[in-house]
Structure 1
Amino acid sequence: MQAADDLALLIRAAQAAGDIALQYSGPTARRWEKSGGQGPVTEADLAVNTMLETMLPAARPGYGWLSEESEDSAARLNKERVFIIDPIDGTRSFAEGSATWAHSLAVAHHGNVTAAVIFLPQRDLLYTAAKGSGAFCNGQPISVAPPSTLAMAKILTATPNLIGHHWRGGAAPDLLRSYRPSLAYRLARVAEGRYNAMLTLRQSWEWDIAAGDLILREAGGLTTNRLGAPLRFNNAVPLLDGVVAATPGTHHDLLQALDPAGPGIAGH
């Protein structure tokens, strides 16, 4: 019941986030580069974050808070449940005027995501999941693609992930590679069966992954880090050691092909 109630709250919040973000034109929105090479942020990101940081903790005062655009606090580590938020995932895409960016909202309970929303307002796509209740897009059930050989599997990943030193034998297998600018959207596309896997081998921020982790698992997929370990959220340093997210067979094949001693530092 708690997961369902949290999901209803996240859906309302994501729709409100879309209303705010669409008030801005990406190419004309004020934009800054974050320190430490962490990429761009726009005034739309900050406006959405301000609204969410007001709305969500007010509705769930006992929950912790982790957001890309908020100063982090160790206080969240002592909370049973925590919001994990990316106000706009795909900020660079948003700033360039593309429609492929998303609001990514999740609740994690003791490190496991229990409610999740990925909303692409300019594509009218609302992906949702509550733990144990399946995954949906715009209210319709979704599920991962049928089994496939690795050679025929369609993989969402960036080119640097195919550099040989990540793979056994020093070369990546032949893969049907595509790319989308939002990690959350990539996970959602696998969940709805359009692709067989999403792969990123660099350290990944929790807010990029949390919502898609649950949506894909509820759709019948598997998610682990690049070494095959389950994903855990609300870590002291909110980074994951890469992500392998796929249909069960493709997930197995990718882990068998990856070199566990690889550096895991490719661009995502």
Structure 2
Amino acid sequence: MPATELDLLIAAARAAGEVACRYTGPEARVWDKPGGAGPVTEADLAVNEVLFEHLRGARPDYGWLSEESADTPERLSRERVFIVDPIDGTRSFIDGTRTWAHALAVVERGEVVAGVVYLPMRDMMYAAAAGQGATLNGDRLGVSDAAVLDGSSMLAAKPNFDARHWRAGRPPAMDRGFRPSLAYRLALVAEGRFDAMMTLRGAWEWDIAAGDLILREAGAVTSDREGRPLRFNNPMPKLDGVLAANPAVHSALLEALAPGAAI
């Protein structure tokens, strides 16, 4: 059994990658989830099974929250909980591209204590443990040193830039980028390749938990869209948006955003 929580998550992520890469995205069987919740493939389900066996097999007393498992209140009574997204970026997987990830986290009393975002097709393992820093394939990560929003680079979907979301009636001048995997977007900010990321719509915990710790261990500030710290293993596992950047840009982003309903 791996000695630490992070060792366990890394080993599980690599096992998940081996399973997922046996499938060809465009040829994998696909179903639509009820209620317009998006697609799921046979690869998502196979990865979810191997993660459950690997993680709960090692820590049977931990709770379990996964995008591809039926949720139950049982996890709320557990001190520690696994929060996982078997394949984050399923549409990217279906399209046959490489920009999808496995996102795995251990949460203790609402806070992430270990997290991994792994892109097997790119051989990129982002990892962090509380108080130990964040790494990419073993190399230390750090956020950018951008000081202002104007001219910064932002990972966000286009609707986040609608004028109604900004106090000035228009967004600051930022270079916008996008990646289909939300977990990967978080990791890219931790790596310093982008200055910030935001999503003003509700965000499921399994998309965010691993990246939250990786970001904070890389020197970022993370919050919901109103600036509140992110907490996990909630009865409804959905966050009120996510903002992430270095302290200066995060503060500037909060000042620039208008209060109001999420997308």
Q: TM-score, normalised by structure 1?
A: 0.96
Q: CA deviation at 1:171?
A: 1.8
Does residue 263 (structure 1) correspond to residue 261 (structure 2)? The answer is: yes
Q: CA deviation at 1:4?
A: 7.2
Q: CA deviation at 1:123?
A: 0.6
Q: Distance in 2 between matches of 1:248 and 1:105?
A: 25
Query: What amino acid is the match of 1:17?
Result: A
Checking the alignment, whether the CA contact within 8 Å between 1:154 and 1:196 is kept in structure 2 is yes
Checking the alignment, whether the CA contact within 8 Å between 1:84 and 1:106 is kept in structure 2 is yes
Q: CA deviation at 1:148?
A: 2.9
RMSD, matched Cα? 1.1
Checking the alignment, whether the CA contact within 8 Å between 1:4 and 1:130 is kept in structure 2 is no
Q: Distance in 1 between matches of 2:162 and 2:10?
A: 38
Query: What amino acid is the match of 2:142?
Result: S
Q: Distance in 2 between matches of 1:136 and 1:62?
A: 28
1:66 maps to 65
Q: Is 211-220 or 55-64 further displaced after alignment?
A: 55-64
SS in 1 for 2:106: strand
1:95 maps to 94
Q: CA deviation at 1:69?
A: 0.0
Q: Distance in 2 between matches of 1:209 and 1:19?
A: 23
Does residue 205 (structure 1) correspond to residue 227 (structure 2)? The answer is: no
Q: After the TM superposition, which residues 180-259 of structure 1 pair with which residues of structure 2 at under 5 Å, given as runs?
A: 180-259=179-258
Residue deviations 1:191-240 (CA, integer Å, cap 9, x gap):
01000101000000000000000000000001000000000000000000
SS in 2 for 1:169: coil
Equivalent pairs: percent with the same residue? 60
1:172 maps to 171
1:132 maps to 131
Query: What amino acid is the match of 1:263?
Result: A
Checking the alignment, whether the CA contact within 8 Å between 1:29 and 1:42 is kept in structure 2 is yes
SS in 2 for 1:45: helix
SS in 1 for 2:262: coil
SS in 2 for 1:145: coil
Question: In 2 relative to 1, CA 104–143 (structure 1 residues): closer, same or farther, beyond 3 Å?
Answer: same
Residue deviations 1:11-35 (CA, integer Å, cap 9, x gap):
0000000000000000000001111
Q: TM-score, normalised by structure 2?
A: 0.98
Residue ranges of structure 1 left out of the alignment (5+ in a row): none
Q: Distance in 2 between matches of 1:168 and 1:104?
A: 34
Residue deviations 1:20-55 (CA, integer Å, cap 9, x gap):
000000000000111111111000000000111112
Checking the alignment, whether the CA contact within 8 Å between 1:6 and 1:107 is kept in structure 2 is yes
2:108 maps to 109
Q: Distance in 2 between matches of 1:147 and 1:39?
A: 35
Q: After the TM superposition, which residues 45-84 of structure 1 pair with which residues of structure 2 at under 5 Å, given as runs?
A: 45-84=44-83
Q: Distance in 1 between matches of 2:182 and 2:41?
A: 18
Checking the alignment, whether the CA contact within 8 Å between 1:102 and 1:121 is kept in structure 2 is yes
Query: What amino acid is the match of 1:174?
Result: A
Question: In 2 relative to 1, CA 145–252 (structure 1 residues): closer, same or farther, beyond 3 Å?
Answer: same
Structure 1 runs (4+) deviating above 2 angstroms are none
1:144 maps to 143
Query: What amino acid is the match of 1:103?
Result: H
Count of residue correspondences? 262
Query: What amino acid is the match of 1:256?
Result: E
Q: Distance in 2 between matches of 1:184 and 1:217?
A: 14
Q: Distance in 1 between matches of 2:33 and 2:48?
A: 16
SS in 1 for 2:241: strand
SS in 2 for 1:150: coil
Q: Distance in 1 between matches of 2:120 and 2:21?
A: 8
Q: Is 19-28 or 170-179 further displaced after alignment?
A: 170-179
